[in-house]
Every structure is written in C-alpha cells, then in structure tokens.
Amino acid sequence: MEQIKSLKGILETVSNMKEKRVVSVAYGQDLHTLQAVEKGIKEGIFKAIVFASKDEVKRVCEANNIDNSLFEVANVPEEKEAIRQAVRLVREKKADFIMKGLCQTANYMRGILDKEEGLLPPDGVLSHATIIESPNYHKLLIVSDVAVIPQPDLKAKEMMINYDVKIAHYLGIENPKVAIIAAVETVNPKMQATVDGAILSKMNERGQIKGCVVDGPLALDLAVSKESAEIKKVKSTVAGDADVLIFPNIESGNAFYKSTTKLGNAEVAAVVTGAIVPSVLTSRGDSEESKLYSLALAALIAER
C-alpha cells in the first residue's frame, strides 16, 4: 500500500474504505462525544452504536443541532452497565473498536480489563500509542507511552514496540525505525533506560523483535536530528529518521507529547493498544481535529 504521510491521509484512507467499521460508544451521552460521533459518521469514517440514556442523548442532540438519526442508541441509563454492554458488543464481533463517552476513565478501563468479560487477551498489556504530526519533523512520529504505563519494564517496552510497529505497517511503513529513548546514547548500568535500549536493540538484531529496525539507547536529539547525530559522531540508520519513539517512563513521554502539541503546534491521533480492538479515549481538551484523527486511526487499525 502507499505510505500514509499525514493525519489527514489517515482520514482520507478510512473515508475511502468500502466497508465501514463500527464503533461501540460506552456511555456516550455528552456533547463532546456526540459531536465527535456525528462528525465521524458524516466524514464516512464509521458507523456507530451508542450505549447511553436515550432521553439524555435526545436532549443533548436537540439542544446542539446534532442529528441523532445518524447512529443507533441502545437505551442503557446506568454508566457501568453501558460500559459492560459496549464491551460485550465488541466481544460478540458486532463492533470493530470502542470509544469512551462520559463515563469515568477508571470504570471504562475496568470494563476493558475485566478478566471474564473484558477485551484484554491473556498475554496482553494495555499501552497508549500517539501519532504526532509536527511542523518541525519531516514525517509522522509514533510515540509510546504517554498516558497508560507509568514505568514500563523491558517486557512492556518490547510489547510497546510490537504495537507501534503494527501501526506503522498500517501506515504503509514497511520497515519502521524505532528509537529507544534515554538521556544519553551510551550504556550506563546506573540508568536502566540505557540498559533496556541496548538489550532491545540486540533482540531486534537477533530476530526476537521483527518487522522493524531498533536502535538504542538514543537521546531524543539523536533520534530526530541527523545534524545532532553527525555532530556527536553517532552512526545509526535510526538516528535523525525515527518513525517510532519508545520513552522510558510516562513522565518523559507525557512531557514530550504536551510540549509538541502546546508549544510546537503539532496535531495528534491516539489510541489505546493491546486489547483485542483499539480503544479511543478522547478528552474535552483535545482539538476537534485530534478527536476525529483518533477515531480515524482506530478505524484504520481495527481488524476484521
């Protein structure tokens, strides 16, 4: 497939799909969720089934000129039950991905993680993948983890790589370049991130991590700047041209995410990976474009 080089490109690709994906919306009875659902349907991204209070959905739609005839509403007024039924729809393979509505994030995540009725496979780990389109970088960047895993260990980082590489393949990047981020590019036993970077790089070299090229540890400037790599005399096929950044902890990943969006004018799309389907967690602070791009990304990577 032709490589997708922008967030708008994701939107266009999904809009052109003949068979539309179905999103299951958990407790989607707030303005922010219903506007995103309406816009996504009008853009041709997906079909939707909303689990919520039918009366409340009708009230919000009528007050804000949202066309609620565009989507199906299953009348489930209680939050936890709405989440349970939204998850069940996915398990029954009647929906291709799931979206958080007005419900509490903790309740939503419990629904996904439920051992008997949830969406996490036995060996799965939930992680957050963000695609960043920055005017200061020459291509899309896939970044993990900025929101879910506080302190990923080596195994979690391996799984984060696998999730992000899979997304990169959906974008048409055949052999994505993965940078394992640390404060420095040399191995220091006192800095676990550098040790993990070296191990993951060797695992990739020996075929334990496939479908990509992994290098680490790499400081952030080396991962995204060829000039920095040349100045520091670091020879790497990943340096200055990374497709994927794996951060050592949630603080560094989250700070990078917020600095690129708030100070660097970047646009983003984000999904939670690791479950049997992608999960969308948009927030009121997200731009309308970001919400739409996140939904389009989930539809792109949802499998049938």
Pair of tokens at residue 14: 């999904």
| pLDDT at residue 291, rounded to an integer | 87
Tens-level pLDDT at each residue, the chain (304 residues): 789 999 999 999 999 999 999 999 999 999 999 999 999 999 999 999 999 999 999 999 999 999 999 999 999 999 999 999 999 999 999 999 999 999 998 999 999 999 999 999 988 899 999 999 999 999 999 999 999 999 999 999 999 999 999 999 999 999 999 999 999 999 999 999 999 999 999 999 999 999 999 999 999 999 999 999 999 999 999 999 999 999 999 999 999 999 999 999 999 999 999 999 999 987 766 777 888 999 999 999 997 6
Q: What percent of the chain has pLDDT over 70?
A: 99
Which residues have CB under 8 Å from 19's CB, separation 6+? 304
Sheet holding 97-100, edge to edge: 72-75, 46-52, 21-26, 97-100, 279-280, 267-273, 127-133, 141-144, 244-246, 177-181, 213-218
Query: What single string gives the DSSP state of each residue in 227-285?
Result: HHHHHTT---SSTT--SEEE-SSHHHHHHHHHHHHHTS--EEEEEEESSSS-EE---TT
Q: How many CB atoms lie within 10 A of CB 288?
A: 12
Which residues have CB under 8 Å from 149's CB, separation 6+? 125, 126, 127, 128, 156, 160, 250
Lookup result for tokens 């990923």: 152
Report how far residue 14's alpha carbon sits from residue 293's, in angstroms, rounded to the nearest whole number.
Answer: 10
Q: By C-alpha distance, which of 103, 87, 98, 30 is closest to 64?
A: 30
Q: Which amino acid is at 166?
A: K
Domains along the chain? 7-120+276-301 (3.40.50.10950), 127-267 (3.40.718.10)
Pair of tokens at residue 85: 């039924």
Lookup result for tokens 């939107």: 11
pLDDT one-digit tens code per residue, 80-137? 999 999 999 999 999 999 999 999 989 999 999 999 999 999 888 999 999 999 999 9
Pair of tokens at residue 16: 């052109």
pTM: 0.93
Pair of tokens at residue 157: 């980082």
Report how far residue 33's alpha carbon sits from residue 101's, in angstroms, rounded to the nearest whole number.
Answer: 6
Mean confidence (pLDDT) of the chain? 95
Report how far residue 197's alpha carbon sits from residue 214's, in angstroms, rounded to the nearest whole number.
Answer: 9
| pLDDT at residue 287, rounded to an integer | 78
Report how far residue 196's alpha carbon sits from residue 80's, in angstroms, rounded to the nearest whole number.
Answer: 39
